[in-house]
Structure 1
Amino acid sequence: MRDWLSTLTKEDRRTVGSDVKTVEFGWPIGMPICRNLGDGLWEVRSDLSDGTIGRVIFAIIGGDMVLLEGFHKTSDKTPKRNLDNAKKRLKELVK
């Protein structure tokens, strides 16, 4: 997650942070900013300055919003690799 954020411009980091904050303090919140991915995972949707789409996959654990995976979305479907990474991290956290 941190590695992905470091690749973004300052403006885009601010956008992602603002969108995450909107979801965190407005929870529960739905489309268009937040979508349920199933298995306890959700995604925050952010439109970035270069026209690309950023996504942050998160889970709610004990009332806390835990950010698990961040990536640029390039297709309609969430990439399996990113979803698998998020599921693996979630599993490690709830052992």
Structure 2
Amino acid sequence: MDGFLDGLESKMRAKTVRDIRALRSNANLLREPHSKSMGEGLFELRVRQANGIVRVFFFFFAGRRIVVLSGFVKKSQKTPRSELRRALRYKADWEERFGHGRS
């Protein structure tokens, strides 16, 4: 995730980092247009800045713990399937290594 963030323009990076930090206290309360369920327990944080749109995938682990998986700069109307598949692979890998976080 750090490499992705480092590649963003400074204002977009600052807004994306701020919104990721806001997940800590507001994750269960965020709804569209800020966050959207993508199915299979995966969520998309939606970050909009004047110069573009960023999406960050995350999921809940062990209750309220949040795992941020990946991000991308959105260039089309729909979320690319390749980005969604990548996030789901990362989620499956995390769950395989650390359990499903069900308490």
TM-score by length of 2: 0.83
CA distance in 2, matches of 1:46, 1:94: 26
Structure 1: 4+ residue segments shifted above 3 A: none
Higher Cα radius of gyration: 2
CA distance in 2, matches of 1:26, 1:92: 26
The aligned runs of 1:1-95 (5 Å cut-off) are 1-28=1-28, 29-50=30-51, 52-62=52-62, 63-95=64-96
Alignment-mate amino acid for residue 70 of structure 1: G
TM-score by length of 1: 0.89
CA distance in 1, matches of 2:24, 2:37: 14
Contact between 1:44 and 1:56, CA under 8 Å: does it hold in 2? Answer: yes
Structure 2 alignment gaps of length 5 or more: 97-103
Deviation at 1:24, TM superposition (A): 2.6
What percentage of residue pairs aligned between the two structures are identical? Answer: 28
Contact between 1:42 and 1:58, CA under 8 Å: does it hold in 2? Answer: yes
Count how many residue pairs are aligned between Structure 1 and Structure 2: 94
**Greater mean deviation of Cα atoms: 7-16 or 52-61:** 7-16
Instruction: Please provide the CA RMSD for this pair.
Output: 1.3
